[in-house]
Amino acid sequence: MNTTQQALLRLHLTPGLGRIALFKLHHYFGSFDAALQAPPQHWREAGLTEALCHKIPAENGEKFQQTYRKLVSQQIHLISFWDDIYPSLLREIHDPPALLYLRGQLPEQECFAIVGSRRATSAGLTLTRELANTLAQHEVCIVSGLARGVDSAAHRGALDAKGATIAVLGCGIDQIYPPENSKLFHEIQQKNAIITEYPPETPPLAGHFPGRNRIISGLSRGVLIVEAAEKSGSLITGDFALEQGRELFAIPGALQNPNSRGTNRLLKEGAQLVTEAYDILQSLWPNQPTRQKQSQHNNFADQLEGSALSVFQLLGHEPRHSDDIARECGLTPMELSAILLDLELRGGIQTLPGNHYIRG
């Protein structure tokens, strides 16, 4: 941990000095090292009270040293808003964390959040795991909150696929909550990431979870709510998603199921309906062929030979004009027309306006 991170940690451990104060200090002084060295009256000029200056834990004090040793021994890293490694999507929300504690390593893939009821049905848990597994296979990082129920199933589905997942905590990075997720916690930190904005030893208080939820949606391109009662906390994540300009998805459920009332309401209000992972992939990553489709294309190509195979291999997911295809394949317009018609009838390609073609 470098001196800048140590300075940030001391400030973050200061009672009464929160996220907004950290942004004010960095904006005014240019660095946290400079803020620590500044006299109290300069803090007042930065918009903070002088009293905060006197509450900063000493560098050689027990509180700072105990926390510092814990972070080093448990390989917990600090990521500030001003670091290059800070997640770019999270940086864009209107109330981003000034500091994140990290165990593990942040994946490089784009993220998608899956949240839902802690008391989900067995069918809901199975579907969650399958959805997360498929998305992870397509190199989408699954973000959730390590809670019981849907959150745990989402993380597990990603891990089953040997994919990426991020767990966002509503407590300190040294707290495992709920306790029964200890194994899952350690599995995630080994190759993926566990993050929180709360300092070590912070308990999982109810008031922390809305803040945790804004990070879950803030990290992600979209948010899927699997099961949620009418007043479920998962709906708060959905509210944050809409506020942050993220796409909101929901899975429909039986009218008699209390866990479906929240998700069914979201669908009535305009959330995108999901019945399989490809609904999400096609909405957020429409130009990225799914592995299922790629496999279908490979099987289709195996049935072709000669000029038909050359034409099919030339086409992709960007429209190509028939003149370009004929020129590159060395075919006459009549020869190409017959091949294109055959490929279209067999479901391998699609015809677009203006004599353009793409794979089907």
pLDDT of residue 253: 85
Q: For residue 302, give both structure tokens.
A: 């195996």
pLDDT of residue 360: 67
pLDDT of residue 290: 55
pLDDT of residue 295: 55
Global pTM value? 0.79
Complete domains list, the chain, with CATH: 1-72 (1.10.150), 111-284 (3.40.50.450), 291-359 (1.10.10.10)
pLDDT of residue 287: 77
Going by C-alpha positions, the residue among 58, 86, 96, 67 that lies closest to residue 174 is 67
pLDDT of residue 289: 60
Q: Give the ranges where 46-138 is alpha helix by DSSP (H).
A: 50-53, 62-73, 88-91, 122-137
Q: CA-CA distances (angstroms) from residue 17 to 23, 96, 345?
A: 10, 16, 67
Give the H/E segment covering residue 334. helix 333-345
Tens place of pLDDT for every residue, the chain, 360 residues? 888 899 999 999 999 999 999 999 999 999 999 999 999 999 999 999 989 988 999 998 999 999 999 999 999 999 999 999 999 999 999 999 999 999 999 999 999 999 999 999 888 898 999 999 999 999 999 999 999 999 999 999 999 999 999 999 999 999 999 999 999 999 999 989 999 999 999 999 999 999 999 999 999 999 999 999 888 889 999 999 999 999 999 999 877 788 889 999 999 999 999 988 989 999 999 876 655 555 555 677 888 889 999 898 888 756 789 999 999 889 999 999 999 988 888 888 888 777 888 876
pLDDT of residue 317: 58
Give the H/E segment covering residue 345. helix 333-345
218 Cβ contact partners less than 8 Å away, ≥ 6 residues apart:
87, 89, 90, 92, 93, 96, 240, 244
251 Cβ contact partners less than 8 Å away, ≥ 6 residues apart:
124, 127, 224, 225, 226, 227, 263, 273, 274, 275
pLDDT of residue 186: 96
What count of other Cβ atoms lies within 10 Å of the Cβ of residue 252? 14
User: What is the DSSP secondary structure assignment for residue 233, as one 8-state letter?
Assistant: T
SS3 193: strand
pLDDT of residue 166: 98
Residue 94: what residue type?
H
Going by C-alpha positions, the residue among 348, 337, 93 that lies closest to residue 211 is 93
